[in-house]
Structure formats: structure tokens, C-alpha cells
Amino acid sequence: MCNGSVYATGKPRIVDRMGRKQLPVGIESFEDVLDRFTYVDKSLAVQELVNRGGVTLYCRPRRFGKSTFLRMLQCFFEAPMEGFVPDRHGLFDGLAISESDDPYYMAHNCAHPVIYLNLASCGANSYEDSIAKIAGAMAQEYVRHAYLLQSPRLMSFEKERFERIAAEEAKPQELAASLATLSRQLAKHYDTKTVILIDEYDTPVNDAHIHGFRSKVLDFYRSWLSDALKGTTSLYCAALTGVLRVSQESIFSELNNVRFDTTLDEDHAEAIGFTTEEVQALAAYMDRTDKVGEMAEWYDGYRFGNAEVYNPWSVLNYLYGGVAQPYWTNTSRNGIVVDLIRHAGESQTVELAALAGGGTITKPLDLRTVFDDLTQNPEAVWAQLYQSGYVTTNDTGMPNDDELPRRLRIPNLEVGKLFSKELVGRASTLAGGSATLRALHRAIIAIDATAVQSALRQILLDSPSYHDLTNEGGYHVLLLALLYAVDGYRPATSDRESGDGRCDVLLEPLPAKTSRLSAHAMELKVDKGAETQDALTACARDVALAQANRMQYGHGLAGAALVRWGLAFCGKRVAVVCEHIGA
């Protein structure tokens, strides 16, 4: 498993033709990467694509190297044309693909016309703007192949159509056929089949979904892509990249030659992203072997097929700047995480707390994104989080089984900090401000039941809707959210086995703080009939706290001592009692 292929053996190859140990942070030109910077060789991925043929859709998180991967394929396959397409013979010398035992693969080097499109900037807030941007991207690619206007193999009417598309004056039906038209014309001119490469194919669809015109864009896509990608005589192979696998029924219904390669699949697991061995080899080359452990904590943790994978964008930035901090989450669009945390109900709040605490949750993953599911089925969000790189799983077997339960986890410290930031933000919002939230946290650490009761009373008055607090579950969600990121503590957990039962909320110190801070076990009750504060206090003491003591909640938790709490709620009133159990 190396150099971009799960089937290859040997060691990772670090290529630095200038010997300057410069890292290609933000460099889009593959030629520049190879000629001027340090490159982690992924060239053997070409073998797998050639072996597959047809159309392959690679689904990976943003900034994981998809664009560099496609640019590599372009440089490998594209035939030269003087004045238009540079001659890249020799570019792959010294890379693993050039030393393949089978000459069949290098026979395709600089041997095919290539169509390359990047649709990352083709998202829009209206259908007209979206199609105009796609038309603009097509026009740019037509202009790149303007030599076809001089081709003796093309008829005059073909050149006239070419000119209309290049000038962004194409009729709607011509635009819908523009990809297939260019593919056929290139194949006709070169007398060999075309390679089609499309980066960020899903961006226009995602934006169309957000702005309410998804069906129109999907109708255009079905015609635009299907005509070019179905088993035509002009297509050698095609590779598309994106984050989400939009369902076959939505776009690819007319294609029977599409292979979907997601992060559950093994065949191309090493093609995109850095493996452990590659990170270690790169760190050694950069004289940063002392940083491998820190990189693993911050940027490792992904599982693609059977390969352990690092986030390449963050690794390169870390080795470049030498500071362990968020890089990927500071540049990627994190709206899916933000929306999930801000609108989480009871079950999702519990699941988010479990993930943030370093635990796992078990979910099936249906990676065939049907956008209606995202609004009609709340569980569909986990598959979207997985494909976007915010959670991962080691349970990658049977990738096409969309009902198989898989254990999801946050991959690393970088992503964990994003979850933490948003969970803290939600807690501050629910508390009515960070000052009230800090007061609640200080009161719990001080084991001051009166102060905890006062802070919760203020929060209940100022923040949640009365209608959201109709049962124990609503208060449970509120307390779990409020107790995220208490200084010196792990995230609060819920319904975890403790003592002789399952405690509502457990709060345990971080390992380095167990000699100084107490562990806390909290039991919640709702007493809708408590007409007075004394009655509510009696419920907290005689029902909630009594149950916590009887069931030995918190037994075995690490901490300087154990504190059991009883909390009783009635509408926006609360009573809090506690008992210090001792060391």
C-alpha cells in the first residue's frame, strides 16, 4: 500500500526535484508542485483508473487533495498541442508510475485529449446564475482547445457550434450537449479517445438545494453529463470528484458505467489523503520526525477503506508553519456541524456529547445522498457529516450495505475543537450569555447548590421557551448542553451505566485534574404538581437525590470526591440539592 495504490508494495516516495524542502501549500499547478516543491507520490493511482475504465466518482472531504489528484491525471494523460497544451513527456520521470513493470500504463502517458473542468465556483443562488457559470466554465475549456477550429477533421458546422459555445452564445440545447460535443470533437481530431475530469461536481447541486432550485439543476446535469459519460465511442475514461455522492437516481440514472468510490471503499483508499507511512516519510524528509506524535493527535484518525489517513491540508500547513492548530476547519465550510449542534434535539444532544467526549455513536450510513432525506429524515445528517469529514468510522466493511450499523467518532483534535467551539457557543446562547454560563460552572465546581439553583433559575427565565420544557427530556437536553466544557472536566455524559443503574448526567474530571476536582452524578426529575418551592425542593431531595444515593450513581468515577445532585423542575422553576459523598 503506497504511492497512491492499495495494491502496491514498497515505501512511500517523496519527490523534491529542487531539493529545497518547500511544501506546496495552496499550489494548484501540478507541474509547479513537481518541479518546485516537495511532493508525496500518488502516481500509481493512474493504474487503478486505467484498469477500471468507465466513469469513477471519487467522494472525499474538502481540501483532501482531490484537485491535485485530478491535475495529476490531466498531466499524465493529456496529449500535447503546440501553442495550446504543453508537452509533458518526462514530467513523471522518477515517479512510481514511470517505473511500473507493465509498460501498458505509460503507453497512455501524453496520449489522450483531456477535458478538465472545475465547478467549485459554479454554485449560485439562482438557476440562471448557476447555468451561466457552468456555461462560462465550458467556454473556458473550449477556448483552451481552440486549435480545433483549425482541425481538418472537423466540419464547418462543427466549428460554428464550437465558436458559439466558446463565446457563451450557445443555445440551451447546445449547452446541454456541450460536454459531449467537445469530447467527440477532441476524439475526432486526435483519432483517440478522450479523458474527462470534473472537479467539485456537486457544488452547483448543493447550492441549488440550499436556494430551492435543485430539481432544475439536476435536470440539466442529467442531460449534460449523461450524453458525455455514457458508453460512447469517444470516451476513454472519466473521473469526477466531490464531497457527496448524489444518488444515482438524481443524476446518473442513465449511466451503467459509473463506479462510486467513497471513503468506505478500499480500491482507491490511498489515492487521496496522506497515509501514516507517507506522513512519517514526509516528516523525516523535512527533518520533523519529532512532530509526528503531535501531527497524529491533531490531524490523523480518518479511515478510508482499510487505510489510516491524515488530513493532507492540515499536515502540509503544520509542517510549513510548525504550529499545531486548526487549519482545515478554518477554511472548510462548517455549516453542517453548526446547524446540527444549534438545532439538536434530545437524542442528538446526547450523541454530540458522546462524540465530543471521545466516544462513539452507532449509525447506519447511506451515502447515496437524496436531498429530500436531509429534511425528512434527521438521521441522514450523519452520512453527510461522514462524507464531509467531520466524523469517521473504522467499520468500513461491506461499503454498499446502507443498513449496517457503524461506530462513528470524531477523527482528531482539530475536528474535536470545532465541535467544542460550537457546543460552547450553544451553551452560552442557552445560558443567555457567557457570564451566566461561567457562574453555573463555578457553582458546580464549588459544590454550591444554592448558587447552582440561582444560575439555573436565571437561565430558565431568560432562555428556553416554556413550551420546550414540558418533560424531563427537555431539561435533560438543556443541562447536557450547559455542562459542556466545564473547566477541568470531560464533556458531560448521559444515561451511562453507573452504580446500579443509568444516571441522567455524569461529570468527570480530566485525568490530570482527578486529584483536585470532584466527580458529579446528577439525577433530574420533573414535578408538574409542585405548587410551592418547598414542594419542589422536597422532590429534588426525596426523589431525585434519594434515587442517586440508592442506585449508587457515580460509583467508581475518578475524582477527588463524589458529589451527588438532585434537581427538580416545574416549568421555569428549579430546586437543587446535593450531597458530598467524600473521597
**Consecutive H or E run containing 581:** strand 573-582
Q: Provide the pLDDT for residue 114.
A: 98
Q: Average pLDDT of 272-301?
A: 96
Q: Average pLDDT of 326-334?
A: 80
pLDDT digits (tens, 9 = 90+) for 132-176: 999 999 999 999 999 999 999 999 999 999 999 999 999 999 999
Q: Average pLDDT of 480-496?
A: 84
Say how far apart CA 184 and CA 181 lie, in whole Å.
5
Q: Provide the pLDDT for residue 466.
A: 45
pLDDT digits (tens, 9 = 90+) for 173-230: 999 999 999 999 999 999 999 999 999 999 998 888 888 898 899 899 989 998 899 8
- Dihedral class, residue 18 (left if φ above 0, else alpha if ψ from -120 to 50, else beta): alpha
Q: Are 58 and 240 in contact (CB under 8 A)?
A: yes
Express as a percent the part of the chain with pLDDT over 90: 66
Considering the segment(s) 42-261 as one domain, its CATH architecture is 3-Layer(aba) Sandwich (3.40)
**Consecutive H or E run containing 497:** strand 493-498
User: Which one has a higher pLDDT value, 408 or 466?
Assistant: 408
Per the prediction, the chain carries an average pLDDT of: 90
Angle between helices 292-299 and 276-285 (to 10 degrees): 140
Q: Average pLDDT of 387-411?
A: 93
Q: For residue 179, give the nearest of 128, 231, 139 by alpha carbon.
A: 139
Q: Average pLDDT of 361-366?
A: 92
Q: Name the band, by pLDDT with cuts 50, 70 and 90, for residue 233.
A: confident
Say how far apart CA 365 and CA 358 lie, in whole Å.
20
Say how far apart CA 122 and CA 9 lie, in whole Å.
40
For residue 320, what are the contacts with CB-CB under 8 A and spacing of at least 6? 23, 25
Q: For residue 139, give the nearest of 111, 166, 102 by alpha carbon.
A: 166
Say if residue 3's pLDDT is above 90: no
For residue 405, what are the contacts with CB-CB under 8 A and spacing of at least 6? 362, 363, 364, 395
Say how far apart CA 357 and CA 509 lie, in whole Å.
12
Say how far apart CA 339 and CA 387 lie, in whole Å.
16
Q: Provide the pLDDT for residue 356.
A: 82
Torsion of CA 222, 226, 229, 230, to 10 degrees: 140
Residue written as grid cell 451527588: 564
pLDDT digits (tens, 9 = 90+) for 243-272: 888 765 567 767 777 888 999 998 888 899
Q: For residue 390, give the nearest of 346, 424, 340, 343 by alpha carbon.
A: 340
Q: Provide the pLDDT for residue 332.
A: 60
Q: Strands 245-246 and 368-369: what pairing?
A: parallel
Angle between helices 203-211 and 127-144 (to 10 degrees): 160
pLDDT digits (tens, 9 = 90+) for 27-70: 989 999 999 999 999 999 999 899 988 999 999 999 999 999 99
Tell me the one-letter amino acid at 119.
Answer: L
CA distance between the termini of the chain: 52
Express as a percent the part of the chain with pLDDT over 70: 93
Q: Name the band, by pLDDT with cuts 50, 70 and 90, for residue 369.
A: low
Query: Alpha carbon of 197 to those of 163, 237, 524: distances in Å?
Result: 22, 9, 57
Say how far apart CA 84 and CA 306 lie, in whole Å.
41
Say if residue 301's pLDDT is above 90: yes
Q: Mention the CATH class of domain 436-582.
A: alpha beta
Q: Provide the pLDDT for residue 1.
A: 54
Q: For residue 195, give the nearest of 34, 43, 44, 76 by alpha carbon.
A: 76
pLDDT digits (tens, 9 = 90+) for 539-582: 999 999 999 999 999 988 999 999 999 999 998 899 999 999 86
Query: Alpha carbon of 536 to those of 9, 449, 477: distances in Å?
Result: 69, 14, 20
pLDDT digits (tens, 9 = 90+) for 100-129: 989 999 999 999 999 999 999 999 999 999
Question: Which residues of the chain does CATH 3.40.50 include?
Answer: 42-261
Question: Which residues of the chain does CATH 3.90.1570 include?
Answer: 436-582
